[in-house]
Structure 1
Amino acid sequence: MNLRPGTPVDLHTLPLETEPVPADMVEDGAPVAGAAALAEVGEVEVGVWEMTPGVATDIEADEVFVVLSGRATIEYLDPALPTAEVGPGSLVWLTEGMSTRWTVTETIRKVYVAG
């Protein structure tokens, strides 16, 4: 989807195409995830991402996100940082190469800005 200047989008109801999280990333459950890039501002991408309950690992990109709905725990595996409990309104900054473990307890949806 390409966001058009001046046109609002309801990020809570925006349909996302989802697929199972790759098996080599899943530690528990059968989570599915999906994303939609909405706009590029310079070299920065703005979009929406969602994941259903389960536990999965990831290697992160440079990103700042705000949780719109749902709840999760993010464990930072490398570098070791305090575990983050996130929910609606949480703002998180991730840097490229961070190893994380996401434990999603309620389907989480976030709006992200990534470079």
Structure 2
Amino acid sequence: MLSPDVRTAALSEDLPAGDVVVDGEPRARLAELLDTEHGGIGLWEMTAGVAEDTETDELFLVLEGSGTVSFEDGESIRLEPGVLVRLTRGERATWSVQDQLRKLYVSL
């Protein structure tokens, strides 16, 4: 049974925010809440800045913060609490975070 408070759960030490930092000095932190052979559930946080990354199959819900995630096909999604997003393995994304972003993710 999982029972952490996802708003205040402790996360890892600072990690690189993505494959490439585009602007600022964004950092990421995470906590794996459940890891199985079929996927996992966790928390991920990114500080303000812009970073590019290659995504994995994932569904996530924004818990806190604000920003935008943009994709190579030109699609852009505004990120704010309550927004649910589906990412696809191999997809390139640019994360532009204005206010520290925290998401709950389910890797598929």
TM over 0.5, shorter chain: yes
Gapped regions of structure 2 (runs ≥ 5): none
After superposing on structure 2, the runs of 4+ consecutive aligned residues of structure 1 that deviate more than 4 Å are none
Instruction: Describe the shift of the 1:44–1:22 C-alpha distance in structure 2 as closer, same or farther (beyond 3 A).
Output: closer
Deviation at 1:40, TM superposition (A): 3.2
Residue 22 of structure 1: CA displacement? 6.2
Aligned to 1:34: 29
Name the structure 2 match of 1:54: 49
Q: Partner residue of 1:8?
A: 3
Cα shift at 1:87: 0.5
Q: CA deviation at 1:90?
A: 0.3
Q: Percent identity?
A: 38
Paired letter, 1:99: R
Match 1:100 to one of 48, 73, 93: 93
8 Å CA contact 1:18, 1:32 repeated in 2: no
Question: 1:52-98: CA deviations, max 9, x gaps?
Answer: 00000000000000000001111101xx0421101000000000000
Written as runs of structure 1 = structure 2, the 5 A alignment for 1:69-108 is: 69-77=64-72, 80-108=73-101
Cα-Cα RMSD: 1.7
Bigger radius of gyration: 1
Distance (Å, rounded) in 2 between the aligned partners of 1:105 and 1:11: 20
Kept in 2: contact 1:52–1:104 (CA 8 A): yes
TM-score, structure 2 normalization? 0.91
TM-score (normalised: structure 1): 0.86
Given that residues 17 and 46 in structure 2 are in contact (C-alpha distance below 8 angstroms), is that contact kept between their aligned partners in structure 1? no
SS at match of 2:105: strand
CA 1:38/1:20 → structure 2, altered by over 3 Å: closer, same or farther?
closer
Inter-CA distance 12–84: structure 2 relative to 1 (3 Å threshold): same
C-alpha spacing 1:22/1:14, structure 2 compared with 1 (3 Å): closer
Residue 24 to residue 61, structure 1, CA distance change in 2 (3 Å): closer
